[in-house]
Amino acid sequence: MWRDDAYLLDILIAARQAVKFRGDLTWEQFRNSSLHQHAIAKTLENIGEAARKVSDGMKAAHPEIPWVAIMSMRNRIVHEYFRLDLLKIWEAVTTDVPALIAAIEPLVPPDKP
């Protein structure tokens, strides 16, 4: 489904942005930088929103991707923004997002010339 391709690309773009925003920050620097916290949380929110729109068929075909966890993270960011667990955000951007990029990249069709 063409819409899945678009949403998977949105996930990949946002995931790459999250990793870029993290850069070479340490946990301490991240913990003390509301700018980085908000930027990374927003990319995680975007990932979750796009994942929510991926078809059930695509999700079923790729159970290796933690769709429910991705969407749950988005819900926590959107609805509990004043009580975010920064350590969970940090763990997501340092561990989960790179793994997500590796899982999503093969699913995104290459650019057409």
Reported confidence tier of residue 112, pLDDT bands at 50, 70, 90: low
Please write the tens of the pLDDT for every residue from 44-60.
999 999 999 999 999 99
Angstrom distance (rounded) from CA 50 to CA 80: 19
- Could you give phi then psi for residue 17, rounded to 5 degrees? -65, -45
Given this model, what pLDDT does residue 86 score?
94
- In Å, what is the CA distance from 94 to each residue of 10, 20, 83, 97? 19, 11, 20, 7
Confidence of residue 110 (pLDDT cuts 50, 70, 90): confident
Assess whether 52 carries a catalytic annotation. no
Q: Which residue has the tokens 């946002």?
A: 14
Q: Cα–Cα distance between 9 and 88 in angstroms, integer? A: 24
Told to judge if 79 belongs to the known catalytic residues of this protein, a careful annotator would answer: yes
Contact 90, 29 (CB under 8 A): no
pTM here is 0.92
Band of the pLDDT at 108, cuts 50, 70, 90? very high
Tell how many helices (H) and how many strands (E) occur in the chain: 7, 0
- Catalytic hit among 31, 36, 62, 74: 74
